[in-house]
Structure 1
Amino acid sequence: MKKLLFLLLFFPSLIYAQNKTGGINWISWDEVEAKMEKEPRKVMVDVYTDWCGPCKMMNNTTFSDPQVVQYINENYYAIKFNAEGSGEVTFRGTTYKNETYDANKAGRNGTHDLTRAIAPVNGRIAYPTIVYMDEDFGILSPVQGFYKPEQIMPILTFFAENVYKDKTWEEYTKAP
């Protein structure tokens, strides 16, 4: 009985530890440029904010799903980008910053210029947005909204496996 109780109490912590240590290999903008020189891959940018509930849910569910984690780590360089952060980012030779960032402000903050450059869909910015890029940092598509693991997997494969070059999203997702 003591062994069973020990396993019931100890086993969940093992699962938790595995999820925390075996997650997505998030890297910085500087790191991705260096890695691209050695091994070109597609890039996936998670554009989030600290106050965004769906961003947190996606991080805790979708980006913690073992199948999603493995697929992203094998096929993409993944960047987490705070859409309202204060840091400067140099991307494709241009330095972007958040001129309206206020360190004393709680909650929503100014929008980073890089967010405006890569994340709008039809002129609108929403969170979360996942921006998919090719091996030359060309923007393939920003995809807005919360996605469950089973919803994001087709999107990940659509870009990683170059399906977008021969089919539209509608053709790809159309039932056979």
Structure 2
Amino acid sequence: MKQLLIIALLLLTANFAQAQDKIEWLKFEEAVAASEANPKMLLVDVYTDWCGWCKKMDKETFTDPAVIKYINEKFYAVKMDAEDNKRKFDFKGKSYTEAKMAAAMRVQSYPNFVIIDPTLKNITQLPGYRQPAEFLNGLGQIVDNGIGASK
């Protein structure tokens, strides 16, 4: 019995460690539903397939353990292809494609990180490639100050 308990604890620890190996990316509508059930900000990575800086973010910044941990703790993370006109979803009573949603969020350059508050009303952008420390600093300022907050 004791061995079984130890094995179970080891498996749980391994699963937890593995879960922190990467960012938990969701579809936009999944992140919205998750935020409605348990409010957190959304971090939307708006990218294109041809964007070299987007690929550099994926390879270098989004694999950094501190970035992974911070995003998974503080946000529901979303990947959104700014040129995808096929996949459709509903948001606030309207139908969108990823391209239409990126346009509605006024994204004009890539990569661009759109942060949406837990009420799903206020957004801010963090545009351009950023190395891990710089990206964490930018996200931290947004989280600490609250987006859309008038101070």
TM-score exceeds 0.5: yes
Tell me which interval the TM-score lies in, with the shorter structure as reference length.
0.7 to 0.9
Residue by residue, what CA displacement relative to the aligned partner does 1:66-85 show, whole Å, maximum 9, x if unpaired? 00010000000000001101
Counterpart of 1:113? Answer: 100
Identical counterparts, % of pairs: 34
Counterpart of 2:45? Answer: 46
Tell me which amino acid in the other structure corresponds to 1:56.
K
CA distance in 2, matches of 1:69, 1:21: 7
Tell me which amino acid in the other structure corresponds to 1:97.
T
Structure 2 unaligned spans of 5+: 1-16
Q: Which has the larger radius of gyration?
A: 1
User: 1:19 Cα deviation (Å)?
Assistant: 8.3
Residue by residue, what CA displacement relative to the aligned partner does 1:85-112 show, whole Å, maximum 9, x if unpaired? 12113222221137xxxxxxxxxxxxx1
Q: Deviation above 3 Å: which 4+ runs of structure 1?
A: 18-21, 162-167
Counterpart of 1:88? Answer: 88
TM-score by length of 1: 0.68
CA distance in 1, matches of 2:49, 2:138: 24
Residue by residue, what CA displacement relative to the aligned partner does 1:102-136 show, whole Å, maximum 9, x if unpaired? xxxxxxxxxx111111143xxxx111010011001
Within-5 A mapping of 1:1-176: 22-85=21-84, 86-97=86-97, 112-120=99-107, 125-163=108-146, 165=149
Higher RCO structure, 1 or 2 (CA under 8 Å, sep 6+): 2
With over 3 angstroms needed to count, the CA separation of the structure-2 counterparts of 1:31 and 1:163, relative to structure 1, is: closer
Contact 1:47–1:119 under 8 Å retained in 2: no
CA distance in 1, matches of 2:44, 2:53: 16
TM-score by length of 2: 0.78
Contact 1:46–1:128 under 8 Å retained in 2: yes
CA distance in 2, matches of 1:139, 1:78: 16
With over 3 angstroms needed to count, the CA separation of the structure-2 counterparts of 1:155 and 1:144, relative to structure 1, is: same
